[in-house]
Structure 1
Amino acid sequence: MLPARQFSALRLADVLTSSLEAVCARQNPLGLPTVRKAVVILADGLGASSIRARSGHARFLSSRLNKSSIIDGVFPATTAAGIATLTTGVEPGQHGLVGYQVLDGARDRVVNQLTGWDGDMRPATWQRERTVFERAADESVPSFAIGPKRFVASGFTQAVLRGARYVAADTVADRFAAARSILSENPTALIYLYVAELDVAAHAHGWQSDRWLAQLETLDSEVSRFASTLRSDEGLLLTADHGVIDVPSTRHVLFDTEPALISGVRHVAGDPRCVQLYLEPQQTAGSASSAADTLADAWRESQGDRAWIYTRAEAVAAGLYGRVADEVLPRIGDVVIAARKSIAYYDSRPANQKARGMIGQHGSLTDEEVRVPLIRAGAFSR
């Protein structure tokens, strides 16, 4: 059974775009008032359900979290797709980052959208859309991206943050200090501030761990302190790219041990909770469609009680990737498996099984993974 996922009217794609519109004194999808300066914080991996579940450790954030301050991220619920959607204002089917790992069909290889950038997967062309920062330059609004030093020159940074001046700051506190300095030194500005620490802790220890809670408390304290410094013409939004669920190793499904689930599969990509399977090349479009249907049926027979299974055509028709450009279509798996139970799918054939050490997982369509906060402060407070 395929889910009839109804994405909400408020979307991650609107957050940074609306902030720029507010700086430019224009109406915007979020209804933000006019400001001179706007700050958007992206807390990687901070789902709305996690804030609710740990509200005592996030008093500032939870006090501003209500029904109207929860929005939809993207599918797949993964960082590459989510951040690209935030910084371009369009859905994955348009910007082209449709998963953590996807097929580069021209070179018959799987590429990692966060770390796999090279001369054949150029950031300036693989990510197809102009960024909000590039549009800000058109309006003479200076834009800044604040994040860890290790990401300064990464391919992913070049793909999704182009047009912004990157400001390196390795601790969460230093990033907020940098944001305050930029606000004080510029008459107008658009600032993107990235917090990776929650997601890192979740993958290694789980979002229910003490390590994750400590990072949540740090973020909450820093946001509260920073919000208290905001002036009347400075607005703040905090959101996330996805949420996280914990999956113990006892809930790993080694799908390659069931031959029917890998029959005709040439490449395995995606995330453990959103596997994308690419078939061997077919002679005709008709046979390719038939092969995808056959593989999807095999998955439904085996896993239909704990995963949503789509062919590419079904996923596109359901609008999971938004509008999909012709150039982007082949990057989506011939068959897509989205976990709906607390499980993660792994291929046990590759020698490197390091990924199976992750506890915190994301990628699928559950509310815990897709629903993210939209916390407002400063001039953007309601």
Structure 2
Amino acid sequence: MLPATNSARPSLADVLTSCLDAILGRGNTLGLPPADRAIVLLVDGLGASSLRARAGHARVMARAFQKSSVATAGFPTTTAVNLATLTTGAQPGVHGLVGYTVLDGAHDRIVNQLNGWDDGLDPASWQRSRTVFERAADAGIPSVVVAQERYRDSGFTHAVLRGAGYVSGRTVPERFAAARRVLDSVEKGIVYLYVSELDQAAHARGWESGEWTDALEAVDAELGLLAASLGRSEGLIVTADHGVLDVPATSHVLFGDGAALVDGIRFVAGEPRCLQLHFEPDVSEALRAAVVDRWKAAEGDRAWVVTREEAIADGWFGPVVDDAVAPRIGDILVAARKAIAYYDLRAESQAGRHMIGQHGSFSPEESAVPLLRFGAFSTAGR
């Protein structure tokens, strides 16, 4: 059976769009009341299940965590995809970022959507949707992103954060303080505050590590100060782009040492928990079908193995996939069901195999993220 893609929970696509609607005094998907200023805190890698498990280390978040305080991250559950969904209000099949690494067919290559941007990949056209920040500017509402300085001029920033001003802060406390200053400087406006430290700790040490818990405590402490400072017309939402599973090296699934699973495959894209395999353009339909069948026979008990057409028909990338976006999706998708990660032995770099925290697939640990409300938004939708 394929994973369920229809959820009654809010989507990340609803968060910033609802904040803008609240500032404009309009009804919105999240049921947010009118507010003058809104701040969205995105804690990269903070899954709802991990937050529940470590609630004693995050008292501020835990007090706001109710049954309705969960949103669904889009597929694949990876940062590039879901930050684009958050900031555009569109699903991957429309905005066009469909994986961690994806096929750039015009240049016959695989590109990293976070840090692989170059002159051959135009952020303004590759990410195909207008951002919430651009729509806010149309309405006379300023938007400001608060993040680390190293992200300011990246191709990914130009793709998904266009339309917003940018303020940097090196540490978590510096970024929270900067967000408060921005709120104080505008009569109406949106602040998007990005924290990457939990995701980085998870990849290096795992979400069950002391380092991850320390990072959670640091964010929660700053959140408490910010939440206490909110005025009557200031609302705050805390969410995440995905959660994390810890996958030990003993659960790595290695492939590529034999021809059966890679026969006719030109590119391996995606990420370890959600492979996207692209065939050579001249591969016969018979071989394509045979390779799909081999993957299903080898991995069907621990992964969802589908063709591009099946994934699109089942709504994996949203209800609509634009014709220009479809070729970026793999011909075969292998999305892990169990706590495993796939690695191609033929890859030039095997550095990723040191990663402990993983994400990308459909598990609740990866796809369920917090949706916590504070200030003017704290009683909305309850």
TM range (shorter): over 0.9
Question: Could you list the per-position Cα deviations for residues 42-97 of structure 1 after superposition, in whole angstroms to 9, with x for gaps in the alignment?
Answer: 10000000001111111111221122110101100000000000000000000000
Is the 8 Å Cα contact of residues 295 and 335 (structure 1) preserved in structure 2?
Answer: no
Task: Summarize the alignment of residues 94-133 of structure 1 with structure 2, pairs less than 5 Å apart.
Answer: 94-133=94-133
Is 1:28 the counterpart of 2:28? The answer is: yes
Matching residue of 1:243: 243
The SS at the match of 1:212 is helix
| Distance across 1 between alignment mates of 2:206 and 2:161 | 28
Which blocks of at least 5 consecutive residues in structure 2 are unaligned? none
Separation (CA, whole Å) in 2 of partners of 1:258 and 1:63: 52
Asked if 1:331 is matched to 2:325, the reply is no
Whether the 8 Å contact between 1:8 and 1:71 is mirrored in structure 2 is no
**Secondary structure at 2:3's aligned position in 1?**
coil
Aligned-partner Cα distance in 2 for 1:311–1:258: 21
Secondary structure (helix, strand or coil) at the match of 1:68 reads coil
Write the distance in 2 (CA, Å) between the matches of 1:119 and 1:216. Answer: 37
Alignment of 1:140-159 (within 5 A): 140-159=140-159
1:246-289 Cα offsets, whole Å, 9 max, x none, are: 00111111121342111110000101000000001037xxx45x
SS of 1:75 mapped into structure 2: coil
Partner of 2:228: 228
1:309 correspondence with 2:305: yes
Q: Which is worse superposed, 7-16 or 312-321? A: 7-16
Q: Distance in 1 between matches of 2:5 and 2:192?
A: 29
Query: What pairs up with 1:177-196 in 2 under 5 angstroms?
Result: 177-196=177-196
Query: Does the Cα contact within 8 Å between 2:257 and 2:346 map onto a contact in 1?
Result: no
Give the drift of 1:225: 1.1
String of CA shifts for 1:183-217, please: whole Å, max 9, x gaps: 11111110100000000000000000000000000
Q: Is the 8 A contact 2:149 2:168 kept in 1?
A: yes
Question: In structure 2, what is the Cα distance between the partners aligned to 1:260 and 1:2?
Answer: 24
The percent identity for this pair of structures is: 57
Q: Distance in 1 between matches of 2:132 and 2:40?
A: 12
Aligned to 1:16: 16
Note closer, same or farther for the CA distance 1:280–1:165 as it changes in structure 2 (3 Å cut): same
Q: How far apart, CA to CA, are the structure 2 residues paired with 1:210 and 1:201?
A: 9
| Residue equivalent to 1:356 | 353
User: Which residue number in structure 1 is paired with residue 92 of structure 2?
Assistant: 92
Give SS of 1:281's match: coil
Amino acid at match of 1:311: T
Describe the SS at the equivalent of 2:229.
coil
1:129-166 Cα offsets, whole Å, 9 max, x none, are: 10000000000001000000000100000000000001
Distance 2:50 2:345 in 1: 30
Q: In the TM superposition, what is the alpha-carbon distance from 1:9 to its structure 2 partner? A: 4.0
Give unpaired runs (5+ residues) of structure 1: none
CA distance in 2, matches of 1:94, 1:209: 37
The correspondence of residues 284-303 of structure 1 with structure 2, limited to 5 A, is 287-288=284-285, 290-303=286-299
- How far apart in 1 are the matches of 2:7 and 2:280? 33
Q: Which residue of 1 aligns with 2:372?
A: 375
Taking the TM superposition and a 5 Å limit, the aligned residue runs for 1:9-88 are 9-88=9-88
Counterpart-to-counterpart distance in 1, 2:21 and 2:287 = 46
Aligned residue identity for 2:256: D
Shift of 1:170: 1.1
Shift of 1:291: 4.1
What is the SS of the residue equivalent to 1:121?
coil
Q: Is the 8 A contact 1:292 1:311 kept in 2?
A: no
Residue-pair matches, total: 378
| 1:256-275 alignment runs, 5 A limit | 256-275=256-275
